[in-house]
Chains A and B, each alone.
Chain A
Amino acid sequence: MKDFLHRLFLPHISNNYRAKLLHHKTIIAVIAVFFFSSFSMSAIRTGFPSVLGTFSDITSQQLLLLTNQFRQQNGLHPLQLNQNLSEAALNKANNMFSEDYWAHDSPDGKTPWDFIKAAGYNYVYAGENLARGFTTAQSVVDAWMASPEHRANMLSPNYTNVGYAVETGKLTGEDTVLVVEMFGSTTLAASPGNELAAKAQKETKSTATQSPAKPQSEQQVLNANKTPVAVAKPLVNSASFSSNIAAIVVALFIFTLILDMVVIERKKVVRLVGHNMDHLFFLTLLLILIGLIARGAII
């Protein structure tokens, strides 16, 4: 075992002074394994979604709790979970999946405020935060808090209510978990600076000629109560699994290239090979990209 690892990672006379992992045949084998695994994982995702798939542990309650913790730390009143806003958030999430867009406004011009109004919430102030690709509520809230625009929404004194939807589906060619957070208030805030603040925070303030609230159907209430718990949770999260494997393999190649470079330099061996430094730059770029892709996105 020790000899095997030695030959695999260290340049030595037994491997022609090039770590076995960096031999052409080994690289071809690794490439083949990755391509085969890509199609195998894709087939398992389709055929056995209970084994491999996309899921998150995010719940509305966790999002509410974390948001209110930040609000209380900043001396603000806690938000109340509102059924109408949750329904609006769910309808928005479903619309994003069906129309396949990642934006606040739909391709046919529907704004977040249209969903809020359609859900029967007569807002005076309203706002929306979106997130995708996160696996925990903490990471979603942290990402929103790190962005000035989203933070402004989360810490706005104008809002009293909030609604959430956490839905899994295919969006812009990717299986992902989408989080929609909709804020609202049905009363005008007392502070005189609120109107300006509302504009700065991209909130929409409704006019006096607002349409009256529509009566909620039973189906709408049922939709508002729908949570991602209803979907069977796969055993393995494919996104986390693939990004971890990819990062480990790239890190292993980087480690081997560095070892190879140091040992060959010490032993003063002359070889006709490419520059390890070039490959190091390329693989480091790949490692950064894996980190970026694995990170969720917010708008």
Chain B
Amino acid sequence: MFKKINEHVIYYISLIIIFALGLFLISSVLPNKQLEMLYFIILAVIYVVWGILHHFINHELSSKIVVEYTLIATLGVAIMFFLLKGGYGL
């Protein structure tokens, strides 16, 4: 498992940097719920693109993988929407 992580360490570092920037950006607009939602959707889209690129570069890309990254990103958006719309009346 650790060998696998080492093989992809550059990708993970780039992903952590993207997420850290996203976290900083979203924290800076707190407690504006509309902007929080908007920035999170943008971050989710970037995540899908990043996932596709990652697998494309490693010659592992397939439609199943594209669907998987899209579903995980959509799950994140759905949970965020539930939190902001259902919980805070966005």
Contacts and interface: CB of A to CB of B under 8 A. Distances in A.
10 smallest beta-carbon distances between A and B, as pairs: A242-B87, A41-B86, A34-B78, A175-B89, A38-B85, A274-B68, A265-B1, A34-B82, A27-B71, A31-B78
Contact of B65 (A34, A243, A273): A273
Report, as a range, how many residues of chain B touch the other chain.
35 or more
Contact of A282 (B30, B31, B72, B89): B72
Given A24-B71, A31-B75, A286-B79, A174 B12 contact: no
Nearest to B86: A41
B87 A238 contact: yes
A273 B68 contact: yes
A280 B8 CA distance: 14
A176 B31 contact: yes
Nearest to A53: B89
B23 A242 contact: no
B33 A274 contact: no
22 contacts: A31-B75, A31-B78, A34-B81, A34-B82, A41-B82, A41-B85, A41-B87, A45-B86, A45-B89, A54-B89, A174-B88, A238-B86, A242-B86, A253-B75, A272-B60, A274-B68, A278-B15, A278-B54, A279-B72, A282-B19, A282-B73, A297-B31
Contact of B87 (A102, A132, A239, A283): A239
Nearest to B15: A281
B71 A132 contact: no
A180 to B, nearest CB: 16
Contacts of A30: 75, 78
A238 B89 CA distance: 9
Given A27-B75, A172-B31, A281-B12, A273 B87 contact: no
A284 to B, nearest CB: 8
Q: Which of A28, A38, A241, A245 has the most CB of B within 10 A?
A: A38
Interface of A: 24, 27-28, 30-31, 34-35, 37-42, 45, 54, 102, 132-133, 170, 172-176, 238-243, 245-246, 249-250, 253, 261-262, 265, 272-275, 277-279, 281-283, 285-286, 288-290, 292-293, 297
Contacts of A24: 67-68, 71
Contacts of B47: 278, 282
Contact of A297 (B30, B82, B85): B30
A278 B51 contact: yes
Given A275-B8, A281-B19, A172 B79 contact: no
Contacts of B71: 24, 27-28, 31
Q: Which of A240, A262, A278 has the most CB of B within 10 A?
A: A278
Given A172-B32, A173-B34, A290 B83 contact: yes
B64 interface: yes
A176 B88 contact: yes
B76 A283 contact: yes
Contacts of A37: 82, 86
Interface in B26-77: 26-27, 30-34, 36, 40, 43-44, 47, 50-51, 54-55, 60, 62, 64-65, 67-69, 71-76
